[in-house]
Amino acid sequence: MKKTLLTLGLSAILASSLMAKDALMMATTTSTDNTGLLDYLAPKFEKDTGVTLKWVATGTGKALKMGGNCDVDILFVHAPASEKKFIATGFGVDRQQVMYNDFIVIGPKKDPASVSGMTPSKALQTIKDKSAKFFSRGDNSGTNKKELSLWNNAKVDTKEASSWYVQTGQGMLRTINMAAEKNGYTMTDRGTWIKYMSQKGEDNTMKVVVEGDKSLFNQYSVVSINKEKCSNVKPELAKKFTNWVVSPKTQKTIADFRLLGQALFIPNADK
């Protein structure tokens, strides 16, 4: 009996270690999580490879920090300049483009600042001049980094902004909700905007006011963590995910991920 229990105990430990061995830990931007994309992809990845995908959704800045702390095996992020700096430190390797969408500025349907159709710079200057409420993620995420670069292009110093500029410290969906509640503006990726519209339905009080400028392009990529810097990471599993997510089959799967008849992300691994 004791021998049987011991055997069962060892089997459980072995099974647990094997399960842990076949789990890939990812740090990712909130948009891949908020939109439901990873919930959509994860079971397909496990079915195709036998590897369980686990992830922490946070801003890209925090995701890169987690990579530098050796807390994850792979990153799925959208701040190309920061990703390249991360790779230059030696912690990141094998950066591969996966998909893109675009950033948009959204605001109340009544558009109190009258910025609809303006260029990003003109719209932001006008929002500042009229002291219209603007809600920023303020979290060093990829979206926040892009937003700050647009303010810089508009020659507006947000560090000197008064009460009209609100830093939420929250993810994208929460920030959109806060902007909607306070009759303000914000910047979001289009995928999260479509998700928001699908949740709100007829109760949606927001609309797109700025879009289509080339400066609003939003690239998503995967970056693996270098085992030479982080001995605990699983590069073989990271490579499995990278190969899988850029494969023609998965690229089509991403293209087929739609809400309200609209694509949330456009695959571009082969571009």
What span, in angstroms and rounded, lies between the C-alpha atoms of 233 and 4? 35
The domain ranges of the chain are 2-101+219-267, 102-216
Alpha helix stretches (DSSP H) within the chain: 2-21, 30-34, 37-49, 60-68, 80-88, 120-129, 142-153, 172-181, 190-200, 235-245, 248-255
Strand partners, 219: 100
How high is the pLDDT of residue 17?
Answer: 41
What span, in angstroms and rounded, lies between the C-alpha atoms of 67 and 83? 11
What does 242-257 look like in DSSP terms, one character per residue? Answer: HHHHTSHHHHHHHHT-
Only one residue has tokens 């987690």, namely 66
- The number of CA neighbours under 13 Å toward the Cβ of 218 is 30
CATH of domain 2-101+219-267: 3.40.190.10
pTM metric for this prediction: 0.88
Angle between helical axes of 37-49 and 235-245 (0-180°, round to 10): 110
| Helix, strand or coil, per DSSP, at residue 9 | helix
How high is the pLDDT of residue 13?
Answer: 39
What span, in angstroms and rounded, lies between the C-alpha atoms of 6 and 11? 8
Per-residue pLDDT 10s for the chain (271 aa) are 544 444 454 444 334 444 456 899 999 999 999 999 999 999 999 999 999 999 999 989 999 999 999 999 999 999 999 999 999 999 999 999 999 999 999 999 999 999 999 999 999 999 999 999 999 999 999 999 999 999 999 999 998 778 999 999 999 999 999 999 999 999 999 999 999 999 999 999 999 999 999 999 999 999 999 999 999 999 999 999 999 999 999 999 999 999 999 999 999 998 7
What span, in angstroms and rounded, lies between the C-alpha atoms of 39 and 245? 14
Please give the structure tokens belonging to residue 29: 């931007």
- The number of CA neighbours under 13 Å toward the Cβ of 156 is 24
Domains 2-101+219-267 and 102-216 in one fold: yes
Length of the chain in terms of residues written: 271
The CATH H-level superfamily of 102-216 is Periplasmic binding protein-like II (3.40.190.10)
What span, in angstroms and rounded, lies between the C-alpha atoms of 9 and 87? 42
